[in-house]
Structures are given as structure tokens and as C-alpha cells.
């Protein structure tokens, strides 16, 4: 999945109109990393894939497989870890910020976690950065929701779309701003239907649905020009993104609390942002 996404994004780098995006096409740079748990014992690692290009201002597509023991202060927050702190976790995480404010930012993550229990989690959500595009009637919003619904509907017996859509709306919300981060998508955690193969197939289809729809959204928007005011609005909206990731995002907290790679975890931060 990581390789397929990177290839699709590099193709978009190549195809974006040179009149709007001068310079050479970007390419992903891969950087391996290793971790130790809180006791100092080696515990897996991962691979960062980051591209800074002419179309993609900053995009990270990261894979990790980590294991070890949760630190004592963190165990009560993880299902199945209170009595036995051993864990194993593997996943892919993606965040994309584009130069063009007409193209929405996006996040996707899928993962499998094992303690004395085991479960899948993940989802994908879209964040338009211009207020005029942050509506449920916008064509990008409609298409993105349709793609996420299709992934759920293909596994309707174990993946209730309306539940996971509502979960996304409630999760990606900034209480202090009283506003949503984006226009939604799907989000799920602690997913264990009792049929591991079915749960894996659903989680894989979430990734495939993302790979099908998001490059289409980029391509349909990358020919649109933008103004200085659009860029200013984009940078301010990115500030909300930073606030959510640092204050509320469980994935960010999990990574930092389990000795993950800081550069990889914080690669979700936009390269430029404003708080006016």
C-alpha cells in the first residue's frame, strides 16, 4: 500500500501543470528508524517516506512495526495492557499538505494492535482549507464520502458506515474552537468482529478506497489557480490542524508515549502555518 500510494503521488508530481508548479518533480525520500521501549530494550521501528515537491508541499507515507512494553503511566489507557504491558503494533500513516489551497489536505491511517486483546483501527478524513470548499455539498466532499462508504458497504456485516462516519465527525473536532477539523470521512478503533480475516480485508479496503479517490481529487483540482488571500486562508486553516494533532490526536500521543520516531510522528505538521 505504501509503495502504491507513493507511486501515485509521484505521478501527480509529474503531471501537475508546470505553469502553476515550476521546478523539478518531487520524489519520496525514505529514512529507516529504530526504537527502544521505556526500559531501553530494542522494539522494532519503521520507515519514513517524505516528499517535498512542486505540487505536494509536504507529504509523509510512513510504515512502522513496533513492540515492547507500555510505560506504567500509559498502560491504563490501552485496552488489555493494565495487567500485562506487552504490546505489538503495526500500521501505515499518511498526511498530505499541498501547495494549492484548492486541493484539500488529507489524512489516512490503518493499524493492527495486539496486547492481551487485539484490534484494528484506522480511517481517512479530508480537510479542505478554503471555507468555500468546506461544505457537505462540495463535489470533493461528496466523492470522498462515497469512496469511504463503498469501503464500508463492501463489508457491511462488520463495518457500519454510519457509525464510523459519525465517529470521524466526533473524533476530528476541536472543542476549544467549536469546529470540525475537516468535512469528515470514517474513523474506527478497537475493531474486532471476531473474524480476523474479515477485519483485515475491510482495513485493506479502506486503504484501497483512499488510493482510488484522493489522487482523483488532487488531479481534478491541480489546474485551479489561487490568490494570495487563498494562501493566507490555507495557512490559517493549517493552524487548526496543528492544534488538533498536538492537543487531541491519539495517534500522536501513542507514538510519543511509546518511544516512536519523533520526526515521523510530527511529520504531520504543515511546513508553513499562521496564527494571525
Average pLDDT along the chain: 95
Q: Count the neighbouring beta carbons within 10 Å of the beta carbon of residue 161.
A: 17
Give residue-wise pLDDT tens across range 126-153. Answer: 999 999 999 999 999 999 999 999 999 9
Catalytic: which of 62, 99, 107, 155? 107
Please name the residue that has the C-alpha cell 485496552.
Answer: 79
Q: Quick check: is 107 catalytic? A: yes
Distance CA 202, CA 81 (A): 25
Distance CA 85, CA 68 (A): 8
Contact 47, 61 (CB under 8 A): no
Spell out the SS3 assignment of 73-101: HHHCCCCCCCCCCEEEEEEEEEEEEECCC
Confidence at residue 37, expressed as pLDDT on a 0 to 100 scale: 80
Confidence at residue 11, expressed as pLDDT on a 0 to 100 scale: 98
Residues contacting 190, CB < 8 A, separation 6+ = 79, 119, 121
Percent of the chain with pLDDT over 90: 86
Residues contacting 7, CB < 8 A, separation 6+ = none
Contact 115, 82 (CB under 8 A): no
Instruction: Record the cell numbers describing residue 105, joined without a space.
Output: 489536505
Name the more confident of 158 and 81.
158
Amino acid at each position: 500500500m505504501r509503495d502504491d500510494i507513493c507511486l501515485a503521488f509521484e505521478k501527480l508530481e509529474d503531471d501537475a501543470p508546470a505553469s502553476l508548479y515550476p521546478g523539478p518533480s518531487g520524489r519520496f525520500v525514505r529514512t529507516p528508524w529504530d526504537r527502544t521501549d521505556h526500559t531501553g530494550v530494542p522494539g522494532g521501528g519503521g520507515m519514513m517516506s517524505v516528499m517535498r515537491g512542486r505540487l505536494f508541499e509536504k507529504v509523509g507515507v510512513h510504515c512502522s512495526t513496533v513492540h515492547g512494553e507500555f510505560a506504567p503511566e500509559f498502560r491504563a489507557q490501552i485496552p488489555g495492557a493494565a495487567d500485562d504491558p506487552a504490546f505489538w503494533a503495526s500500521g501505515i500513516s499518511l498526511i498530505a499538505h499541498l501547495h494549492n489551497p484548492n486541493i484539500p489536505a488529507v489524512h489516512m491511517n490503518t493499524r493492527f494492535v495486539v496486547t492481551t486483546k487485539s484490534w484494528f483501527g484506522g480511517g481517512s478524513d479530508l480537510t479542505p482549507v478554503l471555507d468555500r470548499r468546506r461544505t457537505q455539498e462540495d463535489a470533493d466532499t461528496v466523492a470522498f464520502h462515497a469512496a469511504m462508504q463503498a469501503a464500508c458497504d463492501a463489508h457491511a456485516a462488520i463495518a457500519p458506515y454510519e457509525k464510523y462516519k459519525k465517529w470521524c465527525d466526533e473524533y476530528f473536532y476541536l472543542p476549544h474552537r467549536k469546529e470540525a477539523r475537516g468535512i469528515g470521512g470514517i474513523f474506527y478503533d478497537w475493531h474486532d468482529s471476531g473474524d480476523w480475516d474479515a477485519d483485515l480485508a475491510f482495513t485493506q479496503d479502506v486503504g484501497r478506497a483512499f488510493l482510488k479517490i484522493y489522487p482523483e481529487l488532487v488531479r481534478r483540482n491541480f489546474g485551479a489557480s489561487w490568490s494570495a488571500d487563498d494562501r493566507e486562508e490555507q495557512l490559517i486553516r493549517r493552524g487548526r490542524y496543528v492544534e488538533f494533532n498536538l492537543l487531541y490526536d491519539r495517534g500522536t500521543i501513542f507514538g510519543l508515549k511509546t518511544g516512536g520516531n519523533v520526526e515521523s510522528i510530527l511529520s504531520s505538521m504543515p511546513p508553513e502555518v499562521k496564527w494571525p
